[in-house]
Amino acid sequence: MLSLTGYRLVLWNGATDMRLSFNGLSGLVVNEMKEDPFQYGTLYAFFNQRRTQAKLLAWEGDGFGIYYKRLSRGSFGAPVYDPARRMMVLEKKDLLLILEGVEIRYRKRYSRSALRQLNQK
């Protein structure tokens, strides 16, 4: 599995053409996200429209690296986001859950009192 330790994780919320490679994805970062793709320590995540494929783009100091994952069934989850914002910064655990196929939209941490109430029923 990919190690995401030490990276700033940026998610592009729009649908991405998965035929894009290094130049196309870095162009998307520059033109749409208004960020510098040569920024060391930033990982950019892109998904296709059906959310069955994901690409992660990172500058590794001497060149770009791409991590590509295609699901055999199902789709990647989507975090809750403002549709007006096309990009968002994610936490490591959220991106890992998305790549594992867990729907993080409904993930919720329960308080102890809520857990006690659930156990009493």
Residue ranges of the domains in the chain?
8-120
pLDDT at 71: 87
pLDDT at 44: 95
Tell me the pLDDT band of 35, cut-offs 50, 70 and 90: very high
Higher pLDDT, 100 or 69: 69
Those residues with Cβ within 8 angstroms of residue 59's Cβ, 6 or more apart along the chain or in another chain:
37, 38, 39, 40, 42, 65
Task: Assess whether pLDDT exceeds 70 at residue 38.
Answer: yes
Tokens of 86: 């096309």
Mean residue pLDDT of the chain comes to 83
Q: Where are the beta strands (DSSP E) in the chain?
A: 8-15, 42-47, 53-59, 64-70, 87-90
Higher pLDDT, 58 or 80: 58
Does residue 79 contact residue 28 with C-beta atoms inside 8 Å?
A: no
Q: Strand 53-59 to strand 8-15: parallel, antiparallel, or no bridges (unpaired)?
A: unpaired
